[in-house]
Amino acid sequence: MTAPLFYSPEVTGLTAEQVVSLDAAASGHAIRSQRLATNDQVLISDGLGTLAEGTLEDASPQRTTIRVQKVTVSQRPEVQVNLVQALAKGDRDLLAAEMATEVGVDRVTPWQARRSIVRLRPERATKTLAKWESKLKAAAQQARRAYVPTLGQPLFAEEIASLHSPQDGHYVVVLHEDGNENLFDIAESLHAINTLHLVVGPEGGVSPEELHSVLTAGGSAVKIGSNVMRASTAGPIAVALLNQLFNRW
């Protein structure tokens, strides 16, 4: 069984035989919730690519310390994937973000689409985005990821088209049931790509105006199957397909 993972900024630049500590929240979770004890094996990461293996040295619920045995630094995939997830009711947007994180997405950007029932209210924006960040970190921790996905600034309606910038290696793909392209052909045709922005609409779908803005900018509308998927399902499945097509696994 894979050892549990914890995050700490102290891991950056760490070398073997050094000692790193967890903050009070992570220490309490490790000792009280996961019942870890001295000499148990754990993983610890800075969330930025550095991953260390070690053993618990001081199993204190206030300040757990870990003796590092091995350190590796992962490189980000050559092609980054940004899930532009429309706000959706019933926390289906957050579910999509969590599953995509487990699969391996690099960035998640909340999108208030024209047809989103959920609205990002200015007075609650900070709290809402903090919740998204927390969900991404928890999902990355569960998946034992050395990288925690970045949370992008929210986009509104046709602003998604501004992400399309082929000259900078950025390409926008909208998942749409009437799309006339597929991800395989897109992956084959793109060259010098840095980031693929994967747009997933809300329950009511992407509006004609939003789709038109992306297509006019040069982006694509893609269909990934014969079934119409929920807002929480389409994104993670597409991320998995892109992992295969771009050799990101």
Q: Which helix (H) or strand (E) holds 136?
A: helix 125-142
More confident residue, 231 or 95: 95
How many other CB atoms sit within 10 Å of the CB of residue 184? Answer: 12
Q: What is the mean pLDDT of residues 25-29?
A: 92
Flag whether pLDDT at 135 surpasses 80: yes
Q: What is the mean pLDDT of residues 115-121?
A: 93
Percent of the chain with pLDDT over 70: 100
Q: What is the mean pLDDT of residues 43-51?
A: 96
More confident residue, 228 or 67: 67
Q: CA 101, CA 123: separation in Å to the nearest integer?
A: 27
Flag whether pLDDT at 1 surpasses 90: no
Per-residue pLDDT of 63-85, as tens digits, reads 999 999 999 999 999 999 999 99
Q: What is the mean pLDDT of residues 134-162?
A: 97
Q: How would you classify the pairing of strands 150-151 and 65-73?
A: unpaired
| 91 φ, ψ (degrees, to nearest 5) | 60, 25
Flag whether pLDDT at 192 surpasses 80: yes
Structural domains of the chain, with CATH:
5-73 (2.40.240.20), 80-245 (3.40.1280.10)
Q: CA 234, CA 145: separation in Å to the nearest integer?
A: 22
SS3 call for 197: strand
> What was the pLDDT predicted at 180?
87
Nearest to 36 by CA among 70, 69, 68, 5: 5
Q: 231: pLDDT confidence band, cut at 50, 70 and 90?
A: confident
Q: Within 13 Å of residue 104, how many CA atoms lie on the same side as its CB?
A: 16
Q: CA 74, CA 120: separation in Å to the nearest integer?
A: 34
Nearest to 83 by CA among 218, 196, 215, 240: 196
Q: CA 174, CA 180: separation in Å to the nearest integer?
A: 11
**Predicted TM-score (pTM) of this structure:** 0.93
> What was the pLDDT predicted at 82?
98
> What was the pLDDT predicted at 193?
94
8-state DSSP, 39: T
Q: What is the mean pLDDT of residues 122-126?
A: 91
